[in-house]
Structure 1
């Protein structure tokens, strides 16, 4: 262990626990180190932005460098790797197809797919885009966007009919989004593909923006109203767990 680094980290830890900051004397009383040495360490940390000194109280507190580093860390988090363990958990518990999609410029596309243990033929494929208005993942993302964003997407993409169950009426679709927002999950029963039903939950990033969604897909014969009801809490919890890994706090 490098003593000087250890001492600097201990000082940072102590300062972080006191929002009003700590003075050199207060730090010296908690660390077996003379004031001169503590001052030198603090001065070094101040020069790098990790610690700052209040010019009125002369006490030291955390610097804004941590916000910068925290932002860089959160931006560098890979969604697929962070979500993988939770997607596998869903697959084990349901034996159905699990999808992870991201939202990008008014569209959603698949970045991960777990096949489950049951045979199921779907159009989904990693790298392929998905209809945003008639999939559970698309609808749950739309439900958490602003009215202006939703309006712009509908105007650009329209509400094209994919099956007999696709919602193509704008007023009815907006009511559907309000319902999804309130309940925290979206259900799609054969709106995109005949015979396939899904349930999805939103995923939020560290800024609280909806950026992705996770879903469970299966044949309508298995994804009955009763089973979809039973899966509600599970999909919501998985969405929350992945969001937390991305730095989101409610």
Structure 2
């Protein structure tokens, strides 16, 4: 069977389970009645799905409310462990966080999205809504824009056609021509900036991780409050440290592939 990016004959029962799981991820602790009100599915259908998922330890029930089960953690760790740059990337993220004191993220490209794999916070008390396992639109993030800049134009346009350019803040680039211009600049310098485009008052610099063929497979970003992460610190000092870390990751990946 040939790989296909999307099935043209989806299994509706599986899709129903996924909708229930996504709802419980966004709003944990929903009851059967609440899920019935919130989803366009029959109560009996939702009930059967809930029981099946519970029987397989994918959901747990507490006082009539349903939550995702910790079995998903095992799935998630297994998925993360197959990422070829995770171990070496994690070590570089820890080092960057210690050197800069800022929050550093390791991300992977999966399909049209960036997925947060690992973070280290250094001495920064900064707290955001970002979390390990979260999927984000590529154009909203420094590492994501660096990944987009490493794609050919056809693949970039295909992602835009499928996902659009969703606005997160007033600074998010939502015009495709403007984004193309920025991607050209990113290709020239080798790294990308995020100035309040995902979170107001947060600045970041990001660079891509590529495989041996030059295909972007992930990235690293360093972020902090805009009142501190600015000027030469943002434009020069942090990019130099970031690119040095990326170079080490690429060397390790090439070395490991030849052993």
Normalised TM-score (structure 1): 0.67
Matched, 1:83 2:72: no
Name the count of aligned residue pairs. Answer: 175
Runs of 4 or more consecutive aligned structure 1 residues displaced over 3 Å after TM superposition = 75-78
Report the Cα distance in structure 1 between the residues aligned to 2:123 and 2:195, rounded to whole angstroms: 21
Matched, 1:234 2:241: yes
Give the secondary-structure state (helix, strand or coil) at the position aligned to 2:87.
helix
Larger Rg: 1
Report the Cα distance in structure 1 between the residues aligned to 2:132 and 2:83, rounded to whole angstroms: 19
Alignment of structure 1 residues 53-132 onto 2, 5 Å: 78-132=84-138
Give the secondary-structure state (helix, strand or coil) at the position aligned to 1:238.
helix
User: RMSD between aligned alpha carbons?
Assistant: 1.8
Q: State whether residues 102 and 212 of structure 1, in contact with CA within 8 Å, keep that contact through their aligned partners in structure 2.
A: yes
Q: CA deviation at 1:108?
A: 0.7
Report the Cα distance in structure 1 between the residues aligned to 2:219 and 2:106, rounded to whole angstroms: 6
Q: Which residue of the partner structure matches residue 246 of structure 1? A: 253
Q: State whether residues 77 and 246 of structure 1, in contact with CA within 8 Å, keep that contact through their aligned partners in structure 2.
A: no
Q: CA deviation at 1:78?
A: 3.8
Normalised TM-score (structure 2): 0.64
Distance 1:171 1:76, change over 3 A: closer
Q: State whether residues 90 and 106 of structure 2, in contact with CA within 8 Å, keep that contact through their aligned partners in structure 1.
A: no
> Structure 2: which 5+ runs fail to align?
1-80
Matched, 1:218 2:224: yes
Matched, 1:162 2:168: yes
